[in-house]
């Protein structure tokens, strides 16, 4: 009997969580910084934010990823360099699963994918596939830098989804650590779920068990970069009810690598979704 995606996730997730727990026990930054507040509107949370220099963050990310691209560093996440790749194995399993469903071809629409962090994290594994195309939809300045420094025959950058679809047809959409930073996340979800893609992955996204989404402000440690901005903690019941009404079904859920100090008991989760097959009525 072949191994299913859920079987694979059960095998790979426990070692990752053990490794992550060990790392977080020694990481005091998570105790000093994280999410705070309970704001009534995005404008109110924005007013409580000190803001950040996006050019500074973009340049730090660019320099870090250039070192990864050239082999001078191993791994980058949120502009920080690491001496060891911290794989998100369930995410990688989902990507390889999507490729297997398409004859070894992986065509990703990575919305909010920075300058290619997830692509570079997983490129050694992706290199065994028959064809890989990684399409990042980002802010104009990110696209400008991405095209100048990172774009090649696999990695591509676009300013919006329509521009991407005008050149290629992705078979999977990736939303990694992005939904919580949007003023209207469900508007994007509705747009994404209307695309002709069979698979869809959400990763590095905070949830709690409360009945409504909670709007906070996230404080980033200055050692990473000076930043302070609104962030949602999604209500798991509300979010899953939204998914249930859409044309996708949940294939698997997994714990993400992130862990910030929240004002409520929260958890960072990834979700792999698949488009529901139309129900055939028997005659």
Q: Is pLDDT above 50 for 19?
A: no
Q: Which helix (H) or strand (E) holds 145?
A: helix 140-149
Q: Is pLDDT above 70 for 282?
A: no
Q: Is residue 249 domain-resident?
A: yes
Q: Which helix (H) or strand (E) holds 239?
A: helix 236-245
Q: Is residue 245 domain-resident?
A: yes
Residues 6+ apart with CB under 8 A from 122: 87, 91, 92, 95
Q: Is residue 58 domain-resident?
A: yes
Q: What is the pTM of this model?
A: 0.86
Average pLDDT of every residue of the chain: 87
Query: CA-CA distances (angstroms) from residue 197 to 137, 168, 171, 189, 274?
Result: 16, 12, 5, 13, 9
Q: Which DSSP category does 197 fall into?
A: -
Residues 13 and 137: their CA atoms lie apart, in Å, by 29
pLDDT band at 245 (very low <50, low <70, confident <90, very high): confident
Q: Is residue 21 classed exposed, middle or buried when 0-12, 13-18 and 19+ CB atoms within 10 A define those classes? A: exposed
Q: Is residue 282 domain-resident?
A: no
pLDDT for 26-61, tens place per residue? Answer: 344 444 589 999 999 999 999 999 876 778 889 999
pLDDT for 119-157, tens place per residue? Answer: 999 999 999 999 999 999 999 999 999 999 999 999 999
92 or 2, higher pLDDT:
92
Q: Is pLDDT above 70 for 205?
A: yes
Q: Is residue 28 domain-resident?
A: no
- What's the domain range around 227? 5-20+35-275
- CATH code of the domain containing 66: 3.40.50.150
Q: Is pLDDT above 90 for 4?
A: no
Q: How high is the pLDDT of residue 231?
A: 96
pLDDT for 190-200, tens place per residue? Answer: 999 999 898 99
Domain count across the chain: 1
Q: Is residue 29 domain-resident?
A: no
Q: Is residue 144 domain-resident?
A: yes
């Amino acid at each position: 009997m072949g191994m299913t995606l859920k079987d694979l996730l059960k095998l790979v997730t426990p070692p990752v969580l053990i490794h992550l727990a060990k790392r977080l026990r020694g990481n005091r930054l998570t105790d000093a910084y994280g999410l705070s507040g309970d704001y009534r509107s995005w404008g109110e949370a924005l007013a409580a934010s000190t803001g950040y220099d996006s050019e500074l963050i973009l340049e730090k990310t660019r320099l870090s990823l250039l070192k990864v691209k050239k082999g001078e560093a191993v791994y980058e996440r949120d502009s920080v360099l690491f001496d060891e790749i911290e794989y998100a194995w369930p995410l990688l399993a989902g990507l390889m699963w999507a490729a297997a469903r398409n004859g070894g071809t992986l065509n990703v629409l990575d919305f909010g994918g920075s300058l290619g962090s997830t692509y570079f994290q997983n490129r050694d594994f992706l290199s065994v596939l028959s064809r890989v195309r990684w399409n990042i939809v980002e802010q104009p300045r990110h696209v400008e830098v991405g095209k100048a420094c990172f774009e090649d025959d696999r990695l591509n950058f676009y300013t919006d989804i329509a521009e991407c679809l005008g050149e290629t047809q992705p078979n999977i959409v990736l939303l990694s650590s992005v939904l919580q930073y949007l003023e209207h996340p469900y508007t994007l979800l509705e747009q994404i779920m209307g695309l002709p893609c069979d698979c869809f992955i959400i990763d590095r996204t905070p949830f709690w068990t409360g009945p409504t989404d909670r709007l906070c402000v996230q404080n980033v440690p200055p050692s990473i970069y000076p930043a302070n901005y609104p962030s949602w903690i999604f209500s798991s019941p509300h979010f899953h009810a939204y998914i249930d009404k859409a044309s996708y079904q949940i294939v698997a859920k997994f714990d993400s690598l992130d862990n910030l100090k929240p004002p409520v008991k929260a958890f960072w989760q990834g979700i792999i979704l698949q488009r529901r097959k139309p129900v055939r009525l028997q005659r």
